[in-house]
Amino acid sequence: MKAQWQILVVDDEEIMCESMAAWLREDGYAVDTASSGREAIEMARRTEYAIHFVDLKMPGGIDGIETLMEIRRIRPDASIIIITAYATVDTAIAAMKEGAQEYIVKPCNPEEISLLVSRIIKVKNLQRENMILRKKLARQYHFHDIISKNARMAGILEMAREVASLRSTVLIRGESGTGKELVARAIHFSGDRAQKPFVAVSCAALAETLLESELFGYEKGAFTGAAERKKGKFELADGGTIFLDEIGDISPKLQADLLRVLQEKSFYRVGGSEEVRVDARVIAATHKDLRAAVEEGRFREDLFYRLNVIEVQLPPLRDRREDIPLLVEHFIERISHEVGKDVRGISDGAMRVLMDHDWPGNVRELENAVERAIVACRSGTLGEDDLAFLQENGSGRQFRVPANMTLEEMEKLMIEAALKRTGGNVKESASGLGIDRSTLYDKLKKYGIER
């Protein structure tokens, strides 16, 4: 897990920089070098380095301390190690005061540097792991966790942010895998209910009676097996948000019950006669066309309007392809860390495969594809081969073009395939290939194809 961390070595002497970089590369780190403070600051702006080795004495305007201060301004969490040829107490104090993590005097014992680097990297690994685990544990997503540079998405997120603190019901529509629950969580955790519970229920997963007791709870003895009173999801979400996924799948009876909760803010537990009052914001989601369901009489119109106070329509991934590279980068970073594989990037060819895919399963499918590719990947970079499975069960629109194949070779293959398909019928083959018969005859002669 070393190579995902980058190290920057800053020194005006090239041989110093390069030999140090080479030594660290042997340890498996990705190392960049800069020959001046100015260059180092530029590089730190572009790339997040785990460790910066900065030489104290550098000519050309910006010395080590100034470089350190500027890098700290850009990246407050950066680990910076100041290097100097001669130790003086004053400079050491100045460097530490400005936030240097360590101060070393060259030439330094290799053991010392090796321990120092591994100590810092260990902490960085723990910090990153901690962040990922916390996020996973709480699943407290915010709008900045939704990765997109698509203008339509930006508008949607802006609107969702604005309504986060309202109590109004939100209906999120979008194909499966577009991130409906993620948006619901972001709305909840960005609003003033963030400290209260977020309770998610998938309405499609449960049978009608089960869903009813799941949502509204039940009294002791309400049905066989109801040995204790149990609170339903609405009660659990009191003060917070209840997220009803796949709302389009619920039965007419539950539609009526739900309408009552939305109107009266109260309900009865299954088998109970005591009215339970509840203050839960409802966010519903569906991949179905509820308007059409209303027209066909399968979904109550009054409930639809109650739910559809604020409508959020998430576009499918194929309509926001510009987000694919951003998402892929994010998934590679997160998943390679989770599965403990050292995958840092993706080849241009593999990215093209991902860009060209139609993603019927949207972002979730993309995430799964990246995970599968990372598990299969045998180098530090995802290649086209790692994504071969996408083409196997792809939409048929895609086929693999073998490397090093010429246009003529391809043409010959296509003609042969057409002839095979038509049982050697030239007229039919020509029409299938979109050329006239005489052209096909010419090509048969040119490529020496037997009919």
Partner 1 sequence: MGLSVMDAPEGGSAEMVTEQIAQALEDVFAVRVTVRQQAWIPDGAYDRQRGQYNAPLVLRSVLEGAASEPPKLLAVTGGDLFIPMLSFVYGQAQLGGRAAVVSIARLRQEYYGLPANAALLAGRARKEAVHETGHLFGLVHCEAPDCAMRLSTNIRQLDMKGDRLCSGCAAMLMERVI
- What's the min distance (Å) between Cβ of 85 and partner 1? 9
- What's the min distance (Å) between Cβ of 115 and partner 1? 8
- What's the min distance (Å) between Cβ of 350 and partner 1? 19
- What's the min distance (Å) between Cβ of 37 and partner 1? 18
3-state secondary structure at position 429: helix
Q: How far is CA 5 from the centre of its chain?
A: 20
Binding site for partner 1 (CB under 8 A): 2, 13, 15-16, 18-20, 22-23, 25-28, 83, 106-111, 113-114, 378
- What's the min distance (Å) between Cβ of 31 and partner 1? 10
Taking the least distance from each CB to partner 1, the nearer of 20 and 415 is 20
Taking the least distance from each CB to partner 1, the nearer of 110 and 423 is 110
- What's the min distance (Å) between Cβ of 334 and partner 1? 24
Taking the least distance from each CB to partner 1, the nearer of 28 and 60 is 28
Taking the least distance from each CB to partner 1, the nearer of 165 and 381 is 381
Taking the least distance from each CB to partner 1, the nearer of 19 and 176 is 19
Taking the least distance from each CB to partner 1, the nearer of 83 and 199 is 83
Which tokens belong to 334?
């997160």
Taking the least distance from each CB to partner 1, the nearer of 23 and 143 is 23
- What's the min distance (Å) between Cβ of 44 and partner 1? 20
Helix axis angle for 180-190 and 151-163, nearest 10°, is: 40
- What's the min distance (Å) between Cβ of 120 and partner 1? 16
* Phi, psi values for residue 242, rounded to 5°: -110, 130
Pair 338, 323: CB distance under 8 Å: no
Q: Which 8-state DSSP code applies to residue 31?
A: E
Pair 357, 321: CB distance under 8 Å: no
Q: What are residue 6's DSSP bridge partners? A: 30
Q: Rounded CA gap, 406 and 448, in Å?
A: 17
Pairing of strands 217-218, 230-231: antiparallel
Pair 267, 276: CB distance under 8 Å: yes
- What's the min distance (Å) between Cβ of 348 and partner 1? 22
- 163 by Cβ neighbours in 10 Å (0-12 / 13-18 / 19+) ranks as middle
Which tokens belong to 355?
């860009």
- What's the min distance (Å) between Cβ of 3 and partner 1? 8
Taking the least distance from each CB to partner 1, the nearer of 107 and 297 is 107
Residue of 155, 140, 186 whose CA lies nearest to 285: 186
* Phi, psi values for residue 249, rounded to 5°: -95, 0
Taking the least distance from each CB to partner 1, the nearer of 113 and 170 is 113
Taking the least distance from each CB to partner 1, the nearer of 219 and 384 is 384
- What's the min distance (Å) between Cβ of 4 and partner 1? 13
Q: Rounded CA gap, 425 and 432, in Å?
A: 11
Taking the least distance from each CB to partner 1, the nearer of 46 and 378 is 378
10 Å Cβ neighbour count for 400? 11
Cα 336 to Cα 51, 206, 332, distances in angstroms = 21, 34, 6
- Sequence-distant (≥ 6) Cβ neighbours of residue 36 within 8 angstroms: 10, 12, 58, 60, 62
331: left (phi over 0), alpha (psi -120 to 50) or beta: alpha
- What's the min distance (Å) between Cβ of 42 and partner 1? 23
- Sequence-distant (≥ 6) Cβ neighbours of residue 301 within 8 angstroms: 294
Q: Which 8-state DSSP code applies to residue 383?
A: -
Pair 60, 37: CB distance under 8 Å: yes
User: What is the CB-side half-sphere exposure of residue 300 using CA atoms within 13 A?
Assistant: 16
Taking the least distance from each CB to partner 1, the nearer of 106 and 167 is 106
